């Protein structure tokens, strides 16, 4: 039984990690989240009353505040998920990505290093700093059979992926230079419950239900490897508790799909699960609309996840077919959650807590 400090625990992947730890382990979780637009405490309603769950609204860029939290809670591990992560937003305004993903990671590393150095030897040896990153740091793949491996050279294409690549380099440097016991994971595209509506899959589901256009960049031929978020959460906990210090593990879902295939699959599922369509809509797929491609859009991502399977025994439970069906069904059954996001009500969960500017 330990205490895990999770940064970004009110975000999409972070909240899945928090729920997994509270529901399936005996560990305590300290959720540290600044509560930017994508931080949603309603995603944690099911675990918020657990005596093993603590929430702190703190910006990871504030090294002094993070140090105070480390001293207060004495975590056995840090799982660093806090990040700005939307590529389009990084193109429109890269500054926040530089600040959070690079400066924030630096501040967290320095706070963690100071805390770790003061730990008794036995606790120092078991402490872990787990940095959660993305496969986008590798750029894109040219061949149809090529896969990202842990040694693939970095070639980020967007301000977002460049900032995440920078944070990966910082973590490795703090591990090698200072001996901080770090582990890095790079994951493929996540999807599943509680996904913020600006991302492709929830955006398509909710637009279709509202009878709005389903925008697809370019011709929709971009390929991504899709990972169900709850599978990812299980993998991350497995890595932080059993992974080897200094190692990197790629986490993928073994589900390569073209963007157009993803959208068409969602439309097919909605025909079955939500047959009553908005007025004037004959088929959900009629809403598909191709729009101008994004600048620097990577063509194909695909992860070789054989290392984590071989060394740690992890494989995903969900195929894309099972995971996407669960996802569509979740959005149909949890309208209150996403309606509160769309109308801004979810921000009221912060009432009584320190508000951000």
Q: Is residue 113 part of a domain?
A: yes
| Contact call for residues 132 and 233 (beta carbons, < 8 A) | no
pLDDT of residue 351: 52
For the question of residue 160 being annotated catalytic, the response is yes
Q: Please check the confidence at residue 352 and state whether its pLDDT lies above 50.
A: no
Choosing from 56, 59, 135, 298, the catalytic residue is 135
Choosing from 136, 230, 298, 349, the catalytic residue is 136
Q: Is residue 175 part of a domain?
A: yes
Average pLDDT, rounded, for the chain: 94
Distance of CA 71 to the CA centre of its chain: 26
CB neighbours (10 Å) of residue 74?
14
What confidence tier does 356 reach under pLDDT thresholds 50, 70, 90? very low
More confident call, 88 vs 214: 214
In tens, the pLDDT along 48-59 reads: 999 999 999 999
Helix (H, G, I), strand (E, B) or coil at 56: strand
More confident call, 354 vs 73: 73
β-strands 189-191, 223-228 pairing: parallel
What DSSP element (H or E) covers 80?
A: strand 77-80
Q: Please check the confidence at residue 355 and state whether its pLDDT lies above 80.
A: no
Alpha carbons within 13 angstroms on the beta-carbon side of residue 19 total 20
Give the residue-averaged pLDDT of 11-20: 98
Q: Is residue 285 part of a domain?
A: no
Q: Is residue 216 part of a domain?
A: no
C-alpha 116/C-alpha 109 separation (Å) is: 10
pLDDT of residue 254: 86
Mention every residue, 6+ apart, whose C-beta is less than 8 A from residue 294.
87, 88, 91, 217
Choosing from 106, 160, 249, 331, the catalytic residue is 160
Q: Structure tokens of 133?
A: 């990153």
| Contact call for residues 226 and 189 (beta carbons, < 8 A) | yes
pLDDT of residue 101: 96
**CA separation (Å) from 354 to 111, 226, 294?**
22, 36, 36
Distance of CA 166 to the CA centre of its chain: 17
Q: Structure tokens of 263?
A: 């959208």
More confident call, 243 vs 292: 243
Mention every residue, 6+ apart, whose C-beta is less than 8 A from residue 209.
270, 274, 278, 331, 332
In tens, the pLDDT along 146-172 reads: 999 999 999 999 999 999 999 999 999
Query: For the chain, how far is it from start to end, CA to CA, in angstroms?
Result: 36
C-alpha closest to that of 138 among 147, 127, 130, 129: 147
C-alpha 341/C-alpha 72 separation (Å) is: 32
pLDDT of residue 349: 61
C-alpha 184/C-alpha 179 separation (Å) is: 14
C-alpha 142/C-alpha 148 separation (Å) is: 11
Give the residue-averaged pLDDT of 58-78: 98
Q: What is the CATH number of the domain that holds 175?
A: 3.40.50.720
C-alpha 282/C-alpha 47 separation (Å) is: 41
What confidence tier does 86 reach under pLDDT thresholds 50, 70, 90? confident
Q: Is residue 98 part of a domain?
A: yes
| Contact call for residues 278 and 208 (beta carbons, < 8 A) | no
C-alpha 18/C-alpha 28 separation (Å) is: 9
In tens, the pLDDT along 285-326 reads: 999 999 998 887 888 989 999 999 999 999 999 999 999 999
What DSSP element (H or E) covers 234?
A: helix 229-242
C-alpha closest to that of 8 among 41, 28, 37, 31: 31
Q: Is residue 332 part of a domain?
A: no
Q: Is residue 63 part of a domain?
A: yes
Q: Structure tokens of 119?
A: 């730990």
Q: Structure tokens of 28?
A: 């305590």
Q: Is residue 263 part of a domain?
A: no
* pTM assigned to the model: 0.94
Give the total number of structural domains in the chain. 1
Out of 15-19, 143-147, 219-223, give the one with best mean pLDDT.
Answer: 15-19
For the question of residue 88 being annotated catalytic, the response is no
For the question of residue 56 being annotated catalytic, the response is no
What confidence tier does 144 reach under pLDDT thresholds 50, 70, 90? confident
Give the residue-averaged pLDDT of 252-257: 92
The domain of 173 spans: 3-195+226-256+300-320+337-350
What confidence tier does 357 reach under pLDDT thresholds 50, 70, 90? very low
C-alpha 197/C-alpha 199 separation (Å) is: 5
pLDDT of residue 293: 84
Mention every residue, 6+ apart, whose C-beta is less than 8 A from residue 233.
13, 16, 17, 19, 20
């Amino acid at each position: 039984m330990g205490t895990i400090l999770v940064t970004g625990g009110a975000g999409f992947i972070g909240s899945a990690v928090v729920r997994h730890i509270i529901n399936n382990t005996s560990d305590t979780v300290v959720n540290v989240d600044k509560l930017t637009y994508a931080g949603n405490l309603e995603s944690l309603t099911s675990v918020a009353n657990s005596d093993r769950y603590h929430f702190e609204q703190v910006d990871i860029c504030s090294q002094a505040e993070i140090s105070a939290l480390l001293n207060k809670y004495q975590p056995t591990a840090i799982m660093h998920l806090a990040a700005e992560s939307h590529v389009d937003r990084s193109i429109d305004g890269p500054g926040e990505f530089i600040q959070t993903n690079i400066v924030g990671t630096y501040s967290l590393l320095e706070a963690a290093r100071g805390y770790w150095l003061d730990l008794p030897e036995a606790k120092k040896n078991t402490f872990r700093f787990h940095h959660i990153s993305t496969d986008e740091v590798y750029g894109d793949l040219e061949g149809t059979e090529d896969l990202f491996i842990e040694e693939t050279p970095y070639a980020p294409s967007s301000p977002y992926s460049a900032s995440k690549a920078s944070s990966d380099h910082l973590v490795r440097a703090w591990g090698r230079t200072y001996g901080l016991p770090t582990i890095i994971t790079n994951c493929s595209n996540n999807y599943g419950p509680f996904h913020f509506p600006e991302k492709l899959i929830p955006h398509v589901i909710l637009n279709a239900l509202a009878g709005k256009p389903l925008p697809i960049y370019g011709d929709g031929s971009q390929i991504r490897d899709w990972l169900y978020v709850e599978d990812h959460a299980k993998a991350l906990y497995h890595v932080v508790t059993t992974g080897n210090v200094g190692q990197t593990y790629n986490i993928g879902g073994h589900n390569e799909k073209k963007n157009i295939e993803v959208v068409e699959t969602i439309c097919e599922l909605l025909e079955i699960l939500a047959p009553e369509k908005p007025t004037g809509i004959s088929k959900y797929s009629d809403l598909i609309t191709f729009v101008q491609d994004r600048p620097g859009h990577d063509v194909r991502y695909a992860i070789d996840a054989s290392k984590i399977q071989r060394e740690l025994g992890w494989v995903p439970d969900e195929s894309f077919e099972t995971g996407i069906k669960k996802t569509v069904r979740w959005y149909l059954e949890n309208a209150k959650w996403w309606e509160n996001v769309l109308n801004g009500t979810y921000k009221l969960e912060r009432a009584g807590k320190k508000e951000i500017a």
